[in-house]
Amino acid sequence: MKIGLFGINFGPCAMPETAITVARAAEAAGLESVWTGEHVVLPDPQVPPSPVPPQLPMLDPAVSLAFIAAATQRIRLGTGIIILPQRNPVVLAKELASVDVLSRGRLIVGVGAGYLQPEFDALGIPLADRGARTNEYIEALRALWSMERPQFRGEYVAFSGINAFPRPVQQPHPPIVIGGASAQAFRRAVRQCNGWYGFALGVDDAAQCLKGLAGAAQRYERPAALGTLEVSVTPRGRLDANALKRFEDLGVHRLVATTRTQSADDLLRLIDTVAPLAS
């Protein structure tokens, strides 16, 4: 089981010294990865389903991970997740390729479709077509990273006669992980992505999601080039050896730990708690 840490770009880790301390501690403890979250903006005042207060400081994932890459050597760097339909995929491809180069090939690209209406409104992007945009933008990223002469034509993005260097270190591209627990997310995971990421799931919730993924795998053909679908979960509740075993028995490959009462000390204690599970 791979063990990661969620929250390396917000709250206390929005402070550069804390982010470096936590990332280095995670690497020294043998954790496999650190992960960012993302909301470009948040509803103010906070209203459901917004997950965090609008005053929570949250750094841009690519900027944060490039900074952490310079302070670490081995630990993998995951975006968990970038809200893909809110981004220009051509610009995002350049940003993420840059992170992969600067980290010498340690990036994991986690993306999702998003769900907060006020966030989409502020960015001038229709919430209703977020799914279709997500599908297209994944393919646009892949084209820019892996095609000798990148070209793509869709409803929301189109390009040809261009190129973008440097390419990512990881070829044909960094692993692409889709977040979400909807039928559409399961379909994207099977048809388009290297992995799937479920957030704040108990064991029973994770079991239902894996059933959903299995059902999608029966309905949709998976390209052989994508390989085995890697399943990552941020577990809800305490992560201990018993919980790890239950997730492992389901077929989960990576657990990305987090803590609700986040402070620098909380994160360092969490690293100490989960480090034995990574050995």
Q: Which of 141, 2, 1, 144 is nearest to 76 (CA)?
A: 2
Contact 266, 18 (CB under 8 A): no
Q: According to the model, what pLDDT value does residue 261 have?
A: 72
Contact 9, 64 (CB under 8 A): yes
CA distance 80 to 108: 9
Contact 59, 95 (CB under 8 A): no
> What CATH number has the domain spanning 2-278?
3.20.20.30
Q: Which of 177, 206, 203, 17 is nearest to 108 (CA)?
A: 177
Apex 132 CA angle, 126 and 134, nearest 5: 90
The domain spans of the chain are 2-278
- Per-residue pLDDT tens, the chain, 279 aa: give them: 999 999 999 999 999 999 999 999 999 999 999 999 999 999 999 999 999 999 999 999 999 999 999 999 999 999 999 999 999 999 999 999 999 999 999 999 999 999 999 999 999 999 999 999 999 999 999 999 999 999 999 999 999 999 999 999 999 999 999 999 999 999 999 999 999 999 999 999 999 999 999 999 999 999 999 999 999 999 998 899 999 999 999 999 999 999 877 789 999 999 999 999 987
Q: According to the model, what pLDDT value does residue 10 have?
A: 96
Phi-psi region of 167 (alpha: psi -120 to 50; beta: other; left: phi over 0): beta
Q: Which helix (H) or strand (E) holds 112?
A: strand 107-112
